[in-house]
Chains A and B, each alone.
Chain A
Amino acid sequence: MSVPKDLRYTKTHEWIRREGDVAVLGITHYAQDQLGEVVYVELPDAGTRAAPGEELGTLESVKAVSELFSPVGGEVIAVNERLTDAPHLVNDDPFGEGWLVKIKISEEPELLDAAAYEKLVAEESQ
């Protein structure tokens, strides 16, 4: 199961990639696999304030509805509009075209590195 080394992770299976003072946020390959085929993605509007650990949106699959938690604090500056018509991108390319939102970071708690996240997934999969 793929866990890119250059990203950081949460225990709730989100990832972020730093681009300057902006965090690109998505859910991991493991998360999309657990969720099953995503059929609907509800994301916040640009301008929304995000706080670490707080709910930022929901992802809906045929099986379940799952919450998206913000790994960082800050302001949502962009959302992936393509997901409205193509929610399957979250499954097809969770670390790339299936990104969810971009947040201008004002608060950044300590997150897991790839090795720590891999360990977490290994524990959960048992």
Chain B
Amino acid sequence: MRRRPLRNERLIFEHNRERRARGRYELPPLDVPAVDAGSVLPEEQVREPLADLPDLGELDVVQHFHRLSQMNFAVDEGLYPLGSCTMKYNPRVNEVAARLGGFTALHPLQPASQVQGALRVMWELDQVLKTITGMDGVTLQPAAGAHGELAGMLMIRKALEARGEHREEVLIPDSAHGTNPASATFAGFEAVEIASGPDGTVDMEALDRMMTDRVAGIMLTVPNTLGVFEPRIVEIAELVHGRGGLVYMDGANLNAFLGKALPGAMGADALHINLHKTFSTPHGGGGPGAGAVAVSRGLVPHLPVPRVIRDGDAFEILWDDPASIGPMRGFYANFLILVRALTYIWGLGAEGLAETAEVAVLYANLVRHRLTSAYHLEYDAPSLHEVVFDDAFQRAHGVTNVDISKRLLDYGFHPPTMSFPLIVHGALMIEPTESPAPEEVEAFCEAMLAIAREAEESPELLHEAPHETPVRRVDEVEAARHPTLRWEPSEKS
């Protein structure tokens, strides 16, 4: 069992109550006349009484936040098999590149002539993402995956409008990412669900029936959230295209076939790429994210602006383009994330990226093979980068996926994604990624097998888990029903 901090950490406000600061920071004396706030500010902007801010020394503050950071579980600490999130290792060389002064000291309003290197990074990433996806154009603007989905759906909307067509519905399989229906709705469409067939892939008969001239297209996660590749993807795309629709592909699971298959060849018209998943930039509280979108030829004119374009050896920023859907955010993108992603891609090269997918799929299948006897597998189609078990065997002993996940914390592993996808009751969605050593994947499997034995022999041990963490089982129901969103002093000091 790994070392974990043994005690909970009080809130920084609570430190304040008991011990006034050693080595606290003193503001320098005022060198201007003091002004009474009430005499210069509107009444509603004058705080009375003054906020009781924490009054701590520097070391107290450093230790507080350091202890909090130790209570966290990070990719740098161990296996983090949070399904559908691709919590891979973030190589330190990415950080070296992103901290180069030539990148960090830029101002977004500098003229293009002074930021040629930065523009080249964007242009190069644009090119390499086109190659990786087999698509015709790329925007680097969106700040996250769902933001990329929205950009893609807005481009699809614009393309249909340009054809003089008004189509209201978007088809979304029930195994899609939860953000898909939200993005379609936000882009002004009505999301219509298609049920999965028995093998977890799209039901072609249902698609044939539902793909009418009211339908703008389909949003498809490939591989889907069951970790199952859509074997009829080309057929699906042909059917949708044949009836005037477009195909949005959710590329959140791109890690499964990086360097192995091209979404462009599968018939995707728009595909977002989570640079913070597939291309190793930090996420999960460490963001920001980046949801670049690659598009087919028909959507290229509608890409957001600004765009970086190349003119001979010079790079320029295109600010305006009449057919564009316009900007998706202020300025260009989460630029330093792009630097990290390009560093990762160039560092691995084409062969390295393909090997990434191979190892990610190998590990998911290793986990599947090792755990199949102990955990129930609802859909047994071949797994790619992740595998979705559920708690059906353990429910017989009154143990749920929540209990199993909490117990994993005691074994020193981050839990898998729980209760998603919704089509699997009590889901445990495991994505090891390619990062861990084989021994670490094996140790995770051993822990899961040990927990399955505990579920049979001593279920109460699991009901009360975690036992070894500084904060024990939290009451999620009470927290959701009666959230306390603001700290208040228990008594006036």
Minimum Cβ distance to chain B for residue A87 (Å): 6
Contact A64 B480 (CB under 8 A): no
Q: Which residues of B448-493 have CB atoms within 8 Å of chain A's CB atoms?
A: 476-477, 480-481
A-B contact count (CB 8 A): 17
Residues of B within 8 A of A62 (CB): 476-477, 480
B185 within 8 Å of A (CB atoms): no
Any B CB within 8 A of the CB of A14: no
CA distance A81 to B183 in the complex (A): 31
- Contact for A39 among B418, B419, B422, B480, CB less than 8 A: B480
A64 contact from B422, B476, B477, B481, Cβ within 8 A: B422
A37 and B481 CA atoms in complex are apart in Å by 10
Secondary structure of the A contact surface, majority rule: loop
- Check B425 for interface membership: any CB of A closer than 8 A: yes
> What is the size, in residues, of chain B's interface with A at 8 Å between Cβ atoms?
8
- The B-contacting residues of A in range 57-85, CB under 8 angstroms, are 60, 62-64
Q: Is the CB of B425 within 8 A of A34?
A: yes
Provided the pairs A39-B480, A40-B480 are in contact, do residues A64 and B425 lie with their beta carbons within 8 angstroms? no
A29 to B476, CA, bound (A): 22
Contact with B along A83-112 (1 / 0, CB 8 A): 000011000000000000000000000000
- Chain A residues contacting B480 (CB-CB under 8 Å) are 39-40, 60, 62
Task: List A contacts of B425 (CB < 8 A).
Answer: 34
Q: Which residues of the other chain, B, contact A87 by a CB distance below 8 angstroms?
A: 481
The CB with the most chain A CB atoms within 10 A, among B419, B476, B481, is that of B481
For A39, what are the chain B residues with a Cβ–Cβ distance below 8 Å?
477, 480-481
Contact mask A28-67 → B, CB, 8 Å, 1/0?
0000001001011000000000000000000010111000
Contact digits for B417-433, partner A, Cβ 8 Å, 1 yes 0 no: 01100100100000000
Chain B residues within 8 Å of A40, by CB: 480-481
Q: How far is the CB of B87 from chain A (nearest CB, A)?
A: 21
Residues of A within 8 A of B419 (CB): 63-64
Residues of B bordering A, CB below 8 Å = 418-419, 422, 425, 476-477, 480-481
Which residues of chain A have a CB within 8 Å of any CB of chain B? 34, 37, 39-40, 60, 62-64, 87-88
